[in-house]
């Protein structure tokens, strides 16, 4: 289980929320496209943000003229989100606390990778979004993570250690949505690059430590790899790359 599956129970809760602050700027282009796509179909309508975190995107939706509602499991995150938007509630994405067909649109960002059943969350979104409404789902494909390394010439050591429950969900999202009746309008892929170990979307120390405990990685290789990447970060030679995928889809006008 990843730390974001239960932020409030994590001893690193403050660090997790700081990570959301840090990555908000890095993902500005994708986030702007999400707002534009939602506005196209939802206009000035009611838009749900599943896994709203500290509320960065609630502010974007509001500024674009939509009426945002945020839902998140973390009390810690919601305390900050309420300062951005008063309409936030604590809730589980697989059991949303809303009646059916109430929202014109919904956004989901870096949430499905952490939940037990991504399909169950998408089914709930289908239930609460009106026919013809829109969903924007942004998820990484951590299986594509590559980190330059002489210790691990394949470059995929970290990808093999990912803590997320569904590390490849980004590449699967369009198919999962289509199989549930959503009409996929657009799929946008972005290749991201990292230049410091601590700025990656994966907690390298925690992920590799778990891999050692599970017998999937030797402690000596872990130590050498971490030492190498720490030094690469220090001297400016650290290089990493991974993929993020955005899917825009509409709910069918007629439901069976």
The model's pLDDT over 33-83, given as tens digits with 9 standing for 90+, comes to 999 999 998 888 999 999 998 888 999 999 999 999 999 998 888 888 898
What confidence score (pLDDT) does residue 20 get? 60
CB proximity list for 202: less than 8 A, separation 6 or greater: 142, 145, 158, 161, 162, 163
- Distance of CA 44 to CAs 28, 106, 155, Å? 21, 13, 45
Say if strands 88-90 and 67-72 run parallel, antiparallel, or are unpaired: parallel
Q: Which segments of the chain are extended strands (E)?
A: 46-50, 67-72, 88-90, 103-109, 129-147, 183-194, 240-250
pLDDT band at residue 184 using 50, 70 and 90 as cut-offs: very high
Q: Note whether 71 and 50 are within 8 A (CB).
A: yes
Which domains, ranges and CATH numbers included, belong to the chain? 3-142+165-195+242-250 (3.40.50.150)
Helical ranges in 129-192 per DSSP H: 169-179
Q: Is the pLDDT of residue 236 over 80?
A: yes
- Predicted structure pTM score: 0.87
For 7-26, how does the pLDDT look when each residue is reduced to its tens digit (9 = 90+)?
545 455 565 556 665 666 67
User: Which residues lie across from 96 on neighbouring strands?
Assistant: none
CA nearest 107: which of 128, 89, 86, 85? 128
Residue 214, burial from CB neighbour count under 10 angstroms (0-12, 13-18, 19+): exposed
Q: What's the confidence (pLDDT) of residue 8? A: 46
Q: For 185-209, how does the pLDDT look when each residue is reduced to its tens digit (9 = 90+)?
A: 999 999 999 999 998 888 899 999 9
SS3 call for 177: helix
> What distance in Å separates the CA atoms of residue 17 and residue 13, rounded to the nearest whole number?
6
Q: What pLDDT is attached to residue 16?
A: 58
> For the segment 87-101, what is each residue's pLDDT rounded down to a tens digit?
999 999 999 999 999
């Amino acid at each position: 289980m990843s730390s974001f599956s239960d932020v409030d129970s994590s001893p690193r809760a403050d660090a997790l929320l700081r990570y959301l602050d840090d990555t908000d700027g890095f993902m500005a282009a994708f986030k702007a496209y999400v707002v534009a796509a939602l506005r196209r179909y939802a206009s000035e309508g009611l838009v749900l943000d599943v896994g709203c975190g500290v509320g960065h995107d609630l502010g974007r939706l509001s500024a674009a003229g939509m009426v945002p509602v945020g839902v998140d499991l973390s009390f810690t995150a919601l305390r900050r989100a309420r300062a951005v938007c008063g309409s936030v509630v604590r809730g589980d994405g697989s059991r949303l606390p809303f009646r059916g067909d109430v929202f014109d649109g919904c956004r989901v960002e870096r949430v499905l990778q952490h939940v037990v059943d991504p399909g169950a969350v998408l089914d709930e979104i289908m239930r609460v979004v009106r026919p013809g409404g829109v969903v924007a789902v942004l998820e990484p494909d951590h299986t594509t993570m590559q980190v330059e390394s002489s210790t691990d010439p394949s470059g995929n050591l970290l990808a093999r250690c990912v803590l997320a429950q569904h590390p490849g969900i980004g590449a699967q999202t369009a198919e999962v949505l289509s199989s549930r009746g959503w009409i996929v309008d657009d799929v946008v892929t972005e290749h991201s690059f990292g230049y410091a170990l601590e700025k990656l979307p994966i907690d390298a120390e925690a992920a590799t430590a778990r891999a050692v405990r599970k017998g999937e990685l030797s402690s000596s290789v872990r130590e050498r790899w971490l030492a190498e990447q720490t030094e690469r970060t220090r001297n400016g030679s650290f290089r990493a790359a991974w993929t993020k995928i955005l899917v825009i889809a509409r709910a069918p006008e007629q439901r069976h």
